Amino acid sequence: MPSTHTNLHYHIVFSTKERMPLIKDEWRNRLHSYIGGIVKHLEGVPLAIGGINNHVHLLIGLKSSHRLDYFVRDLKADSSKWIHTELKEKFEWQKGYGAFTVSPSGIENVRQYVLNQEIHHRRKTFENEYIELLNKSNTPYDEKYLW
């Protein structure tokens, strides 16, 4: 086969340091937009970005040449730097992240899920949500290392 064809989509989740409510309502949308710009700069495709005051969710498309750990590292570093310099806020992301593959047939459902985080979190904590994501995706984990 003379060419390569991929369709790689990821649902990525990461939180603020110690899940503190550091993302303020007045600039959250700006942060999400900026993160989308970083994704584009890193040659990814932002399909949806959402979250609340202590975490973000991204639905993104990546190339086969992307290295996921480097991508998330750069995304977190660049967005944190922007918050410090542009917004003059004390801010830090938690180490680690969750990344879950998304099939083409699941993209729209995940997109809606990512965009409706405020509604979703009226009845569920981030901690419960994250454990649910791990369980639904059959991702092994040791709870003593989650937080």
Write the pLDDT tens digit of every residue in 79-94: 999 999 999 999 999 9
Pairing of strands 55-62, 98-101: unpaired
Nearest to 60 by CA among 79, 80, 78, 39: 39
Q: What's the CATH class of domain 8-139?
A: alpha beta
Q: Which long-range contacts (CB under 8 A, 24 or more apart) does 42-51 make?
A: 42/66, 42/71, 42/74, 42/75, 44/71, 47/9, 47/107, 47/111, 48/110, 48/111, 48/114, 48/115, 49/114, 50/114, 50/115, 50/116, 50/117, 51/23, 51/117
CB of 15 closer than 8 Å to CB of 54: yes
pLDDT tens digits, 33-85 = 999 999 999 999 999 999 999 999 999 999 999 999 999 999 999 999 999 99
